[in-house]
Amino acid sequence: MSVDFTGRVAIVTGAGGGLGRQHALALAARGAKVVVNDFGGARDGTGGSSVAAQAVVDEIRAAGGQAMANGASVTDMAAVQAMVDEAMAAWSRVDVLVNNAGVLRDKSFAKMTLEDFRFVLDVHLMGAVHCCKAVWPLMQAQKYGRIVMTTSSSGLYGNFGQANYGAAKLALVGLMQTLALEGEKYDIRVNALAPTAATRMTEGLMPPEVLAALQPEAVVPAMLVLAAADAPTRAVLCAGAGAFEAAHITLTQGAWIGTGPDAPERLAAALDAVRDRHGETVPGSGAAQGTQEVARALAQAQARA
């Protein structure tokens, strides 16, 4: 299968450096017209300049591609809408959105201010919401869209000192799950990428020899597959150092405990069985949990009849 983006228009946020830059360059190299968005702030989100985004645009154009720079902050819905409007005015469509913009304000939860918690959620989660909201009606109208959220192992599995970042990153998976369901009839496919890469965001978090193995380029194939015409939907791909995995939110078979004053004690006694992963499933939607629970309750009632 050839992964080709000829004739497609892509928006990549946070594309002035690191992983976002590699995403933008790769999409352009495979034929996409690319909006290179980057607020140009520091790793903690302070400051701002469009110089980095323009440098990536210059690279793309020098290689024969088409691109435009945009310095909007994804936290500003009006600026995001203006960015999408600019892309439409130039190229008449938006096919791919890669929500890559992010910031770090790491501290242990005890030392973290609520301001820093809210700001990280605002950039990662609401930034993605703003971008999705701006492109969604266009993708519905053209009956085609590919959206890639950038999640993280910190959100999927936790990481010390990143309560704000982890909360935002797992929230993006929840956003992905519902948008994929709502977008299905319009051929809007929504996926998430959990990258492990050496970028400005990870400097100082890993030893030099590990960072050397984690070049951002090694993550890009996963993004391209998740954004391609033949992309899956509702997938979470993990990528780093040339290795790729899939992450799933699963539901165990569980056990029927029932109700009554001693239900907590009976649940505690059966907790190992409830958590047993044998036969676990990946639900098609949130309704699967309730369906399974009600089915167990009805089966018990029938058995007693």
- pLDDT tens column, 204-216: 666 787 777 789 9
Summarised one tens digit per residue, pLDDT across range 188-200 is 999 999 999 875 6
> Does residue 207 or residue 287 have the better pLDDT?
287
**Shared-domain flag, residues 27 and 171:** yes
The amino acid at 55? A
Question: Would you place residue 202 in the very low, low, confident or very high pLDDT band (cuts 50, 70, 90)?
Answer: low
Residue-level pLDDT at 210: 78
> Does residue 203 or residue 234 have the better pLDDT?
234
The DSSP letter of residue 48 is -
> Does residue 45 or residue 161 have the better pLDDT?
161
Residue 46 has pLDDT above 90, yes or no: no
**Shared-domain flag, residues 79 and 190:** yes
Q: Is residue 287 part of a domain?
A: yes
**Shared-domain flag, residues 119 and 223:** yes
Element (H, E) at 145: strand 145-150
Enclosing domain of residue 94 = 9-247
**Shared-domain flag, residues 70 and 169:** yes
**Cα(15)–Cα(89) distance, rounded to whole angstroms?**
21
Q: Is residue 252 part of a domain?
A: no
**Shared-domain flag, residues 295 and 203:** no
Q: Which residue intervals of the chain are DSSP H helices?
A: 18-29, 51-62, 77-91, 114-121, 127-142, 153-157, 163-183, 208-213, 220-227, 263-269, 271-275, 287-304
**Shared-domain flag, residues 49 and 175:** yes
**Shared-domain flag, residues 147 and 279:** no
**Shared-domain flag, residues 126 and 272:** no
3-class DSSP state of 264: helix
What is the tally of structural domains in the chain?
A: 2
Beta bridge partners of 149: 99, 192
pTM of the predicted structure, to 2 decimals:
0.93
Residue 300 has pLDDT above 80, yes or no: yes
Q: Is residue 4 part of a domain?
A: no
Question: Would you place residue 225 in the very low, low, confident or very high pLDDT band (cuts 50, 70, 90)?
Answer: very high
Question: Strand 236-240 to strand 243-247: parallel, antiparallel, or no bridges (unpaired)?
Answer: antiparallel
What lies within 8 Å, CB to CB, of 277 at 6+ separation is: 250, 252
CATH number at residue 40: 3.40.50.720
CA proximity to 215, closest of 236, 242, 246: 242
**Cα(113)–Cα(109) distance, rounded to whole angstroms?**
8
Residue-level pLDDT at 69: 98
Domain boundary among the residues 217, 247, 277 is at 247
**Shared-domain flag, residues 277 and 150:** no
3-class DSSP state of 34: strand
**Shared-domain flag, residues 177 and 281:** no
Question: Active-site residues: which are they?
Answer: 165
φ/ψ bin of 241: left (φ > 0), alpha (ψ from -120 to 50), beta (otherwise): left
Burial environment of residue 77 by CB neighbours within 10 A (0 to 12, 13 to 18, 19 or more): middle
In whole angstroms, how far apart are CA 276 and each of 112, 263, 264, 273, 299? 35, 19, 18, 5, 20
